[in-house]
Amino acid sequence: MDKSCPGSRAVKELAPYYIRCPHCKTEVEIWSDEFRSRCPVCKAWVFREQGVTCLDWCAKAAECVGPATLKAYQQARKVSS
């Protein structure tokens, strides 16, 4: 049984999101462990809408999802805000 918190599932259990590029309206695939992706047509960065998650406040976030994933998440949050 997985004993990690349910809030980290979006990062751990991969699933695709499809978001329209705000510049050219092309559908862009962004996976749940990614926070942004380049549009294949116009090359603009497309960001997945990201609300506050446990990764923003939990003291054990690095243990839960791994230090590399947490660092990537934090960097993406800075870029998208």
- Say if pTM beats, i.e. exceeds, 0.85: no
Which residues 6+ apart lie within 8 Å of 48 measured at CB? 17, 19, 30, 34, 35, 36
- Rounded distance between C-alpha atoms, residue 19 and residue 45, angstroms: 11
- Rounded distance between C-alpha atoms, residue 49 and residue 63, angstroms: 24
Write out the chain's pLDDT in tens, 81 residues: 456 677 677 667 788 999 999 999 999 999 887 878 999 999 999 988 877 888 888 898 898 888 998 888 788 777 655
pLDDT value for 39 = 97
